[in-house]
Amino acid sequence: MRVNGAETSAELEPRVSLLDALREHLGVTGPKKGCDQGACGACTVLVDGRRVVSCLGLAVQYDGREVTTIEGVDHPVQRAFVRNDGLQCGYCTPGQICSAVGMLAEHAAGEPSAATERVTSRPTLTEAEIRERMSGNLCRCGAYNGIVAAIAEVAG
């Protein structure tokens, strides 16, 4: 498995989740554990560029894949989060940012969402689209307005 560009190997029991492998075995603590059952999105990472909730996958499934966590992300959306105060306590933030990066790529590839009215053409990334596409990432501090503003700013 490559993690943030570096070849990584670890001997793990089959029951170890990708999230636990990162946090507890590889010392990569950027992805957060909020629920451990795919409901909060705090553990979101990018696998070969697509967003994945890392608590729901087993590490062995990702053998040989390219995993990018917040530590490996260098994207304008990070600065936009700070400018727009799209964070408070910071715990959901790595997941929000990885999710935003993955979501922007999905949108760029023309993928629709539940908020898309016409699926035949590439949807405009309205705020309603951003909200729908980011709804798998919970923020209990309620920084949603800032997060949407940050993503909209970067999306242009």
Residues making contact with other proteins (CB under 8 A): 13, 15-16, 20, 23-24, 27, 29-37, 39-40, 42, 69-71, 73, 78-79, 81-83, 85, 87-94, 97, 115, 127, 130-132, 134-148
Would you say 104 or 148 has its CB closer to other proteins?
148
Q: Smaller CB distance to other proteins: residue 69 or 116? A: 69
Q: Least CB distance from residue 11 to other proteins, whole Å?
A: 12
Q: How near is the Cβ of 7 to other proteins at its closest, in Å?
A: 20
User: 1 or 130, CB closer to other proteins?
Assistant: 130
Of residues 35 and 108, the one with the C-beta less far from other proteins: 35
Q: Going edge to edge, which strands form the sheet with 6-7?
A: 6-7, 2-3, 66-68, 44-47, 50-53
Nearer to other proteins, 1 or 41 (CB): 41
**What is the token pair recorded at 80?**
């936009």
For residue 110, the minimal CB distance to other proteins (Å) is 21
Q: How far is the CB of 40 from other proteins (least distance, A)?
A: 5
CA–chain centroid gap for 33, Å, is: 13
Minimum CB distance to other proteins, residue 92 (Å): 5
